[in-house]
Chains A and B, each alone.
Chain A
Amino acid sequence: MSKAFGIVNFAGNHIQVDGLQAYRPVGAFSFLGRYRTIDFPISNMSNSGIDNIQVYVRRKPRSLTEHLGTGRHYNINSKRGQLNIMYTENNRIGDIYSTDVAAYIENMDCIERIHLPYVVIAPSYMIYTADYSTFLSEHIESGADISMMYHSVDNAKEAFLNCGTLNINKQKGVLSIEPNHGNAKNKNISLDTYVMSKELFIDLVKKAHKTSSMYTFADILNEECENLDIRAVSHRGYFAAICDFNSYYHANMDLIDLKHASDLFSPDWPIYTRTNDSCPTQYFEGSKVTSSVVSNGCLIEGTVEDSIIGRGCIIKPGAVVKNCVISADVVIGKGVHVENLVVDKHARLIRGKRVIASPEKPGYIKRGDTL
């Protein structure tokens, strides 16, 4: 039982994932075949003893609502705990008024009614594991106003271009939060993950709201760096941000390597998800599957290489799937050759015999499309 409640924030307007995002919020994106990205922040919270969680969502909440349910599959006690989905009327993606701050203000009565002294805020578009109970206790011990997590990277020139970066001093004090301009290799990428007292959180939200209708929570933090004691806490281990289409593709492809996956998945830190009660996957004579991650419920007769296959997919004889991220319930027809693609749910690639994108710019097949 934590002294903190959790907030899982939606991906702000700086995050734009072409294609997939038209159908569901980033938190509901399929990840590594059987997960959704939101499974990571929620499992982190649940494993950290946080069982009172608010999940903020903007447009298209259905898949997220169904996936989260009452949170029992995340090990959240259904009486004592709470997993609430918080909606906002300002829900147009890209709308400058549709900020996290606006959503918090809209649901302020629900926030104020929570009887817990701290809040841990985490984003729905990042994949990492972290023990928030340590994060919280170290925060309390430090006496800081706010603690926030960052991850030092050496590829900030070409990656994390939409993310925030932290400017920190020797004592790990945060001097400013700036967008990543891609002007340097080494950057401290903000995990958009914070801990602070509930009181301060509410104050900051109200202040941000007063200051400007388009201020995000990161904006007000940046502005308060001078006044408040904001500490940066380094994160280690696997870390990926789904901040655009390419990063989505690569975060998935990265984890085909079991060594990378072992950095993220540990028996001590289970990542929970909703089961679909699919049966095991059937491999038939003639199937040839290598270097791939396969979910349950598939029927495989073709060739799969360096790919991720979602739940319930059918790979017909003679089909070749290479360097692809395939979502659930996709059909790859007889003799169809697909390469370097993200294929969205329920798509059927049957007629077009070769659908091949370049490895630099992976392609996207829409949800439910028949090709």
Chain B
Amino acid sequence: MRQWAKTLEIRSSPHIASGKSVDDIMLNVVLALLPVTGFAIYAFGLAALITLTAAVVSCLVTEHVLCRLTGRNSSVGDWSVVVTGLLYGLTLPPGLAIWMVVVGGIMAVGLGKFLFGGLGYNPFNPALVGRAMLQAAFPVAMTTWPAMPVDKFTQVPSSTLAWPFTEPVYDSISGATPLAGWKFDRVMTEPADLLMGYVSGSTGETCALLILLGGVYLAMRKMMSWRIPTAILLTVAICSGLLQLNDPTKYAGPLFMLFSGGLMLGAVFMATDMVASPMTHLGSVLYGILIGLLVVVIRVWGGMPEGVMYAILLSNAVSPHIDNWIQPRVYGTKKRGQTP
């Protein structure tokens, strides 16, 4: 009687999907980061390669081991931890001791991501948590920059190879980052050098053009919110412009502010980490403005020359509130948002 002996499958609608997938998005972020990574290796040589490899590998291994220890499926395959590792590596000074890179990588994934429940639940940007921990633990090592450019590709600073838990020894006198140069000595770096990345600084932050290129690629593929970087960059540009108008000898101009330090990398790749940023469009813009303001405040009035990392982390902490506060206006209701 029953012609179809075969059982059908039933599932809940919808029965088709867009085909976008988390691993796909993350893989694309890695792709977008490749030019930056390439330039970093070109500019800083083997030292950068070692730093980046150590960063990515330590993040990957931490994730895998922690997943295994807690009996979860290893989530290494979704590429997100590669993004974290790569971005984390790109924010480190090129000559950082390998063992410190590894310590920070463990912090980034363990403390920044895993303890909060893994992918999707981290309240702070894991890569920056790793960097912030390192900056707090080893401030000297984290603010010592090899002079740019390094003469030979194969040259590895002795600090990179410091024994675990020992203080690294620096072989040559370090260079100053453009921001530090401005803050402490009022030395202005050439805008062309800034743009092309021929300055000293963290591994991946120096070439603003390539970072923008990656950002545009991601934004076009709709894998990143273009609102956040735009809001950040505009805010910084406007604020610094106003300040410069006020007193050009005391305050650096928009061009310098935009293209120095970690602002580009931070605005394009790190503030946009969707997990720790608000979800609505308006929320994203507010979040971007907040980051921009904090960057300016810390850079101009703060004790440290650079503040992108702290600005992003602080805004990460604020983003749940932005999300609470700015809810989309539901169709057919009057008020925007609701108070949970």
A and B bind: no
